[in-house]
Chains A and B, each alone.
Chain A
Amino acid sequence: MKLRPTLSLASAAALAFALSACGGGGGTANTAYSPLTPPAGSPATTNIVGLGDSLTAGEQSGALLGAPVPVTGSLFPALPPTQEAGWWAQLWASANSAPAQNAPLPLIAGAPLGAMIIPGATPTQFTSYPLQPCAGAGSQNNAAAFALSSALQTRANPSVTPFDLAVPGMMAHEALFMTGPYQSACTIPPPTSPQQGQLDMLATLLGSESLNFYPVLGNFPGKTAVQAAVSLHPTLATVWFGENQLLKFIGSLGQVNPTSPQQFQADILSIIQQLQQAGAKVAVANLLDPLKAPAFIPQPGLQAALISAGVPAPVAGAVTPAIQASLQSTYAVGANGYITASGLQKIALGLPKTAPVLAPGDFVPDAIAAATEQQLTALNAAISADAQATGAALVDIYGTFNQLFQVGAVPINPPKCCSTQFGGGIFSFDGLHPSNTGYALVANTWIAAIDQKFSLTIPPVNVGAAYATDPWAPH
């Protein structure tokens, strides 16, 4: 499989920025799953069920993949599996004293769902696989995923009932009421009119859950994610929704606000209660601040980002003030706004012009950034209220990442690793989804909250071991 000539860091980041925050991957086991005997003292871990989005599915670097896929033209000999590296698989492995490869995941094999961003021929160059979502090498799973009749062909274990039911892109309301993908075809036709282009934007916003719905939930035809979870008689259920509501709000420049905080609170409450009525102990996580992830570049950091993307420092220094002025006047992106990876790519490729032409998804105006922070506060308050009302364990993901963002680094292998910067080892190359190391930190946040709330003894994940084999972290 020959890859396209390598792209710049900026274009890699552009590829990485998926509005739907999601795509996911990997694992290698394809044997039928049967619940394992839980470790002593952990009767709640017999049937662990996961509900959520790409973060729970184990997406990394823009794709979901469950088995390695050899590639050429990359520093990676193979696309790494992502699903077994996710926090849910790591939690399951700790709870069951078993390898993460044995976790009951909907393993994607043969090609990723989505497009995985990987290094090119050199460490500063990036490419993606597949290059085209629905055509050419590596696109077969993206093409097959939309139809129930063919979606399970994307799986290494099509007959296995998955217990990680997280669908990349999914929102809480969708988990309650979505019974099929929104899009009937792989390709979204190129815009033929302004109206068509707008409809494409909507399709893009809702595209990830359409792509991933049947590959994950194809074993439960006609059921919603919540209904599927209830049918598995979970003893422990994890619930983590909300990041996609923020990202869709950001990506549409505030035009699409899928759920009000009140509705979100009602939805999360309903999900928790349905799972509890099915007999599960439930843990629910709050949300990290997506604008702090490396996919979003603060406008004041534009010059450094251009340099990181390969623009010579003198050039970057010379053009940045004019570009920042243009961003402010044309797109209302000031000192509190952001450029996304795709926006950075357009700016870099457009040099020496200093008036970039950007589209929704390329930038975050100050006002939208401020509104996003308000939304984040409201959604996290809703999650806390639901946890308190139901007795569910509250997993403080916001707190964990807020601390990471403030400190900026975790001394796992200093000075090489790990920081929250792009390529710093906490996040994968899409700048949104954690690396193996980052997911290990997430898993331990979940485990600590679950153990404390339910008096369980699930051992923490070995973060050092996760880092040792982490393809996304510097070594």
Chain B
Amino acid sequence: MLRRFLGRTAPLALLGVLCAALPAAADPGMGSVLGSQLVPSANSAIKTAIRERKQHDADVAQVPPIQQPAKAPAQTGLPIGWTYMADFSAAWSLGNTGASDKLPGGFDAMFAYGFSPTLRAEAAYYEVQHYPLGFNNGVVPVYVQGVANPIGTQDLSQAGIDVATKDKFTLLMLEHLVTIAHKLPIVITPTYVSRTSMIGGPNDTQTVEANGFPLQIQARTAQVQALAVTVPFLSTPKMFGTFTVAPSWLVHRAGLNQENKAQFYSILYLEYRPTDRTTIFFEPQSSRDYLPADVYAQHLNAYFLGISHRLTRNTFVQAVLNSGGPSNYKPYGLTGIYCQQIVPSCTNQAITAGGLHATQIQLQFGIGTPSVLPF
């Protein structure tokens, strides 16, 4: 009887509350921002270094006549001076996310200053929109705080839950181009990332059930420091590939975090350039998100598949399909609802969630240099 009545009433009761804030850690996670900001910048430096190295080798092979003055050493590596990029984006979620799957628009920007071909400082702001699975479908148990057994169930498809999420990343990076044995250019990038989010509303504050108690946390707010190393493994006129590994640590633990061991991001980047204006790229990654809602880091497996096209010298359009979810937090999505109060309805809820998985397409229109095109 109670289950039946909750099945009818809980959607109404939950509507106003769950719309406010729920977790969404799905997504490609931190790897996305490294993949979209750090890797392309490192790639451009490596490409330039390789190109210049090849040019230098060619020049050496064709020694000029003795009367002809030798060429000045070419600039190899990172661009010197100011560079910039800005874009606006729209995104659409894929998969069974229910009716409330409208994603907000996004904005990205990057400014960098190259002190020398081997040293550049960069500041970037990056937004990624996504909608995790498991919040608008399925049936989850409903508990009353302090009562061990569920008092009923909730059909999430009837709850009107909005977990449209916009993650916001601010990055500070210092890129060092190092050439090993005069042949292999690599980029070492100390990185600081501060992230926050909006989940179905103006912020990412939510109440989660932790160890039997309700706990209010900022579910997707964290600061991370990392040391990334990017190494090339493929360079042809049409193709290019790198591998980036980045040990990282939380600046501080928060929420449910239990430890702060080094987490390793691994990002493979592979691109194909059919024309001078167009680049197709594929970027699988194994990354680690460690957010306040996570007891231990989420082991995310994600990929990006995109195409970028330069419209004019300073404008571009880019489309990216990305998908990701953790292998160590299942099931995906909302797993339980805990009512803190029951009069006049089930309100002040805390929730429990498993892993968060999302798939989306993002379309970007920008000025400057899109992240995957060479400078």
Contact = CB atoms under 8 A, between A and B. Distances in A.
A and B: interacting chains = yes
Interface of A: 171, 173-174, 176-185, 188-189, 194-196, 198-199, 201-203, 206, 209, 252-253, 255-260, 263-264, 267
Nearest to A186: B343
Interface in B5-47: 5, 8-9
Given A176-B212, A260-B149, A183 B345 contact: no
B147 interface: yes
A264 B149 CA distance: 10
Contact of A267 (B5, B148, B345): B148
A183 B340 CA distance: 9
B151 interface: yes
B144 A199 contact: no
A185 B342 CA distance: 10
Interface string B145-161: 11111010000000000
27 contacts: A173-B147, A174-B146, A174-B147, A176-B146, A176-B212, A177-B145, A177-B212, A179-B213, A181-B341, A182-B144, A182-B340, A182-B342, A184-B341, A195-B5, A195-B9, A198-B1, A198-B5, A199-B344, A202-B144, A203-B343, A252-B1, A253-B1, A255-B2, A255-B3, A257-B149, A258-B148, A264-B148
Given A171-B147, A183-B341, A184-B343, A177 B213 contact: yes
B143 to A, nearest CB: 10
B111 to A, nearest CB: 46
A33 B141 CA distance: 44
Contacts of A263: 148-149
B151 to A, nearest CB: 6
Contacts of A196: 9, 344
B145 to A, nearest CB: 6
Contact of A198 (B9, B146, B214): B9
Contact of B151 (A178, A188, A202): A202
Contacts of B214: 179
A195 B8 contact: yes
B118 to A, nearest CB: 55
A206 B344 CA distance: 13
Contacts of A264: 148
A256 B212 CA distance: 20
Given A176-B212, A178-B146, A198-B1, A256 B343 contact: no
Given A199-B342, A255-B1, A256-B151, A171 B146 contact: yes
A3 B214 CA distance: 43
Contacts of B145: 177-179, 182
A259 B342 contact: no
A206 B9 contact: no
A188 B9 CA distance: 16
